[in-house]
Chains A and B, each alone.
Chain A
Amino acid sequence: GAVVSQHPSRVICKSGTSVKIECRSLDFQATTMFWYRQFPKQSLMLMATSNEGSKATYEQGVEKDKFLINHASLTLSTLTVTSAHPEDSSFYICSAPRDREPSITYNEQFFGPGTRLTVL
């Protein structure tokens, strides 16, 4: 159990277009999901916390209007990169902690396989 999927796994788009990335918890509910960005050979940078039924919480320096997050249900969060530019090219990863876990595993997060975005 505790599988998180992301779709698409890879996407190539033209500059100026918008790209939507989906993150799904396949076998558990996730009120909260996290979106990360990872540059080559670097660590994960938390972009935002996606909250089901409410607005996402963005980390400092992340443009809310550029990276739109919608947590439509307890198993789906989407990240839309609007008007993408080459500098948005990156590896985007989502994660989700399982709801209603015993407190001992409260913080364990399950990661999606990531989405490689290339903006031409």
Chain B
Amino acid sequence: AQSVTQPDIHITVSEGASLELRCNYSYGATPYLFWYVQSPGQGLQLLLKYFSGDTLVQGIKGFEAEFKRSQSSFNLRKPSVHWSDAAEYFCAVGPNAGNNRKLSWGLGTSLAVNP
């Protein structure tokens, strides 16, 4: 069965500092990988996704993520955090073939940004 682990429930960083949010997955093959952000009271917004090709993917708002097959990881990074990045971040994985489009979700990482 596929699963997603986000080891960090809550992270606090200072504005301007770098950020890395961890995501590990368990899956039988190379899955499709996603990072979503949810601001308070808001819906989910796709930050970036990985399907194939270059393992370093660029997303919106200055975020990037690197797929490391050997570590089954897809960590999200940002070199300099802004106060508006405070939100809940979710990693998700889905099958890369077939008609099953269900996503498996991590429990999320809550990011707080200190001024």
Contacts from A to B (Cβ < 8 Å) = 32, 34, 41-44, 46, 49, 93, 95, 97, 104-109, 111-114, 116
Contact = CB atoms under 8 A, between A and B. Distances in A.
A93 B43 contact: yes
Contacts, number: 51
A106 B43 contact: no
Contacts of B52: 104
Contact of B51 (A32, A93, A105, A109): A105
A113 B101 contact: no
Nearest to B110: A41
A4 B46 CA distance: 13
B112 interface: no
A31 to B, nearest CB: 10
Given A41-B110, A43-B90, A108 B102 contact: no
Residue of B34, B45, B94, B103 ringed by the most chain A CB atoms within 10 A: B103
Given A105-B51, A108-B49, A111-B44, A46 B102 contact: yes
Contact of B101 (A32, A93, A104): A32
25 contacts: A34-B101, A41-B88, A42-B107, A43-B105, A43-B107, A43-B108, A44-B90, A46-B103, A49-B102, A93-B43, A93-B44, A104-B51, A106-B96, A106-B101, A107-B32, A107-B94, A107-B95, A107-B101, A108-B32, A108-B46, A108-B49, A109-B103, A111-B43, A114-B42, A114-B43
Interface string B6-31: 00000000000000000000000000
Nearest to B6: A43
| Interface residue range, chain B | 20 to 34
Residue of A34, A42, A105, A111 ringed by the most chain B CB atoms within 10 A: A111
Contacts of A104: 51-52
Contacts of B41: 116
Contacts of A43: 90, 105-108
A63 to B, nearest CB: 19
